[in-house]
Structure 1
Amino acid sequence: MGRDRYVDFLRAWAIGLVVLGHWLITGLERHSDGSVGAPELLATVPWTQWLTLGFQVMPLFFLAGGYAAGGSWVRARDAGGTVGGWVGQRALRLLLPTAAYSGLVLLAVGVCGAAGVDRDTLALVGWAMAMQFWFLPVYLVITALTPVLYGLHLRWGLRVPLGMGLVGGGVGMLGVVGDSSAAGVVGTVNYLLVWGVAYQLGFCWRDGLLSRGRVVPVGMAVGGVVVFAGLVGPGPFPVSLILVTGQELSNTDPPSAAMLAWAVAQVGVALLLAPGVRRLLAGVGVWAAVRAVGGGSMALYLWHMLPVLVVAAAFYLTGLAPQPGYGSLGWWVLRVPWLVVLGLVLAGVVWALRPLERALASLSVRLRPGSGVRWAWRMWAGLGLSVWALAYFAGHGFAYGGTFPVWPSVGLGAGTVLVALNRGAGGRGEGAPTSQRALEEAA
């Protein structure tokens, strides 16, 4: 089965909207004492929570990830590859750029802490630089489960995501009808169930179970929207698909039944739009743009909050930025130059990172585990350490309480090294990817 350009488009589209959404909802204010704050737009201007319906597109990323991973695992398995070798290869592609990014940010945290930077400021910056990390541990765990999930798919097909969805929807309702603390603990399984539904639907899509006519996609799109409307209208869940401070229930922490319904609706819409978008992607110019975004997807995803810090220092700490009322018409008008400036800064950051990107891609090719690795304890231990460290950073930032996170930093570094040590035997699995392809597949 050849490479599907539409799958690459969905990944690029998801990354682009994540970056744009984070920039759009990030607002800065210069206080009278000269410090800079970042009021939470979704809490301060509640109507903006409706915007999250358009910007919460991570279900598309998991859908595309399942499609691509299913094909990758089948090729590796048919070539004699092992579970350990394949999981190690996929994990390393994501961990190397993530560890490099984290290492540079943590170095800056350590230097700023030693220089006496205010702890509250350091904690805020550390949180901003890690706000996108929630995705990484979830994706790593689901990737590690791919051989099992694909085996279930081969046996039961669409019944697998249907069953996962029913369980996930039930778990998502525990916070409404049960003890909130107990529901929070049990609800963590929904990070795998809800996002796993989209991932599992990627298998079904690849194998043609969702593309036999328009009935199934239309049913998913309409049914998902109707269920979502019921859960956030007369139902108990908020409309925001991003965590909002002060809300008793959240659709993302952990993923709720409403998020599950919206994910199903998004997958249905994506399938309905596939034929038309594929025709557009046949054009050289459109495909070149998708390839450009896809080739830099990890850099865009990891580094897109750095421009916010640069602009804050250049325009807000200096008092050069105009400050209309937060959320006013003038404030929204200024969102246009805000986004343009951030885009220009990010373009410069990505350009400056090109040597590092090429070096990491080359390192990934040299270190990637061979296809003959068999359930090596080092790889699984390294993956576990990495998932734990990334989950910590996602929940606490890089400088929780204004202090340096020693053990999570050690965990991520040691975990990445342990995964990289499993060279194994049996060649290089699917073949050594080019640097651009390696970075695309890491995403």
Structure 2
Amino acid sequence: MADTSSTPETCAITVLVIGASGYLGAGVCNAFLRGTGSPPGSRQFRVYGLVRRESAAQALAAAEVIPIIGSLSDRDALRDNLLSHSPIWDVIVTCTEPSRADPDAEDRHWEDILTLVQGLAASSVARGSRTLVLWSSGCKDYGATALHGASDLAPHTEDSPLQMHPIIRGRTEWAVRATEASTADNGAAGFDVAIIRATPMCGYSASYYGGLFDYAAASAAAVSSTKEPKVLKFSTDPNTIMHDLHLDDSADGYLALANAALFGGDDPEHGRPAVAGQAFNISGRRYQTLREVGTALAKEYGFDGGAQFGVPVEELPVKPGPTFSLVVGWSQWVGSEKIRKVTGWTDRRPLLAENLHVYRLAYEAAVGAGHSNVDAVKKRLAGDWN
């Protein structure tokens, strides 16, 4: 019988996730390992995760992600380390959240990533493989939309103008720069970029929606002794649009784009030409409002008087952190028809208010386990972006 076996290096599609220990990065790693939607009989994904700490590397290894410890700022050593694992990198995904305390340091972070991509792509293209880069940005790149019910309400699409908000300026600007670098000189750099702009995500350690659970729990404790009906109070408008989706759905969107680019051939509508150089929004099948989410939170945390909105900040029983308004006060409806049309992707998991009890339990379990992402988000919502 003939030996038809081959080594993992020759049969696997190599995927590098930069920032693999973060909330989004871990979700993307899992999505590629599952390989949902890949054509039957296609090569399997071999996922590598770039992290800075040994503790994070151990967690990746337990999840069957190959950990690589290194610093983006040590450019040559990191590039050589990665090329020693594989001279070809088929897919690179950026999932980082740099410090935003120093604009110059943040720019160096993004420049380091682009330099790394260029070095890995040069090795790949020399061996006949053009790297696909899925560059994570975010839907806040577009700014905010009107409130639910407003006459001028319209969704943000990939054609909407970008707004360089100070908090996310770096990621917005460098995503565009990376795309421009990939298309310069007729694509001579040897890689293609697709910008991913996803809405806020829920599930597991909850990301920024963990702040909602913390706020509701702290508010419940603050009014526990009152004899009047207990009310969960928000200072923002109940018609604020909260457009979310589950982490698994968002990560599957990344995989769907990779599948289209890797396996779709030259199809201009569903293959690599439809992905390369493009931006894609990833959002849930519908948006929710703060009224819907706040009412669900009030019920979940035992507020028999329900939820109240538009309350003056000084009358709130709990003073939220300085950036909590990004969670409950940033109204935004985001259209995701483009990725659905190109890849056939769709979201399947329940939205935040639809499954809030389960998501609360998952978040509390993450808190109890000392999940590093929980602590990082708490600091950011308190205004510490270092």
User: Does the TM-score normalized on the shorter chain lie above 0.5?
Assistant: no
- TM-score, normalised to structure 2, is 0.29
Greater helix fraction, Structure 1 or Structure 2 = 1
Comparing both chains, which one has the higher relative contact order based on Cα–Cα distances under 8 Å and sequence gaps of 6 or more? Answer: 1
- TM-score, normalised to structure 1, is 0.26
Greater strand fraction, Structure 1 or Structure 2 = 2
